[in-house]
Amino acid sequence: GENVEQHPSTLSVQEGDSAVIKCTYSDSASNYFPWYKQELGKGPQLIIDIRSNVGEKKDQRIAVTLNKTAKHFSLHITETQPEDSAVYFCAASILRNTGFQKLVFGTGTRLLVSP
Amino acid sequence: KAGVTQTPRYLIKTRGQQVTLSCSPISGHRSVSWYQQTPGQGLQFLFEYFSETQRNKGNFPGRFSGRQFSNSRSEMNVSTLELGDSALYLCASSWDTPSSGNTIYFGEGSWLTVV
């Protein structure tokens, strides 16, 4: 089955710096790659997602890139702010015509942004 | 627009007891899935329901079960609780149509502690 590896497990940056989190997946059939942000005591919040027919997607300070050949995708956060501090999870899934999808998650990256 | 609502938010149970957790999906969402989150195993897929039918199940023992009602609300049940069942149980919902993108939204979770 699908396996998703995520690095690094912890990442400390200064406010204003950029942060990059990388994930690799094993199942070449995976075609949907969401990223979630989880704050302490809360559920995962979708921040951005990308489908396999797109190589890059950007939403303000957040961007995701996908390399299907290498089977890896990355989250890029620019101009980090203290409120970006949280645990970030990548996930991979196979979208079918039936609609069902099971998300396979990475192990998470704890991002700490220091003022 | 209300998000995914889970009840109860916190509960403590004794080993051997059973527990039922409830989830109300976002209005109009037809697919409801459940995930278990623990520090050791991360986020793991339990099962997914659509139109009151379980479409897929993760690798969990039969003590874990669920159901979905005609209004898409869902419940999950864990019988004969073990200490290792202590976790954050997350419910997620989606439109489940390819045209809508199948974005999965999570609730805040139910924190279960087994003593």
A102–B104 C-beta distance less than 8 A? no
User: What are the φ and ψ backbone dihedral angles of A100, each rounded to 5 degrees?
Assistant: -70, 140
Q: Which of B35, B92, B102 sits opposite A95 (nearest CB)?
A: B102
CB proximity list for B77: less than 8 A, separation 6 or greater: B18, B19, B20, B21, B64, B65, B66
Tell me the average pLDDT of chain A.
Answer: 93
A99–B98 C-beta distance less than 8 A? yes
The pLDDT score that the predictor gives to residue A2 is 86
- Quick one: average pLDDT of B83-87? 97
The pLDDT score that the predictor gives to residue A99 is 65
The pLDDT score that the predictor gives to residue B48 is 92
The pLDDT score that the predictor gives to residue A10 is 98
Does the beta carbon of B43 lie under 8 angstroms from any beta carbon of chain A?
yes
Tell me the average pLDDT of chain B.
Answer: 92
A46–B97 C-beta distance less than 8 A? no
- Quick one: average pLDDT of B68-85? 97
Lowest-pLDDT range, B17-26, B50-59, B77-86? B50-59
Q: Is the pLDDT of residue B23 over 70?
A: yes
B103–A34 C-beta distance less than 8 A? yes
Q: Is the pLDDT of residue B1 over 70?
A: no
More confident residue, A52 or B9: B9
Residues 60-89 of B with CB under 8 A from A: none
**Measuring CA to CA, which residue among B40, B94, B42, B36 is closest to residue B66?**
B36
Q: Is the pLDDT of residue B94 over 60?
A: yes
Read off the pLDDT of residues B31-67 as tens digits, 9 standing for 90 and up: 999 999 999 899 999 999 998 999 889 999 999 999 9
- Chain A residue numbers with beta carbons less than 8 Å from the beta carbon of B50 are 99-100
Residues 17-56 of A with CB under 8 A from B: 32, 34, 36, 41-46, 49
Distance from CA of A52 to the nearest CA of B (A): 13
- Quick one: average pLDDT of A87-106? 85
- Quick one: average pLDDT of A40-68? 93
- Tell me which chain A residue has its CA closest to the CA of residue B88: A43
The per-residue DSSP string of B41-86 comes to: TEEEEEEEEETTEEEEE-S--TTEEEEE-TTS-EEEEE-S--GGG-
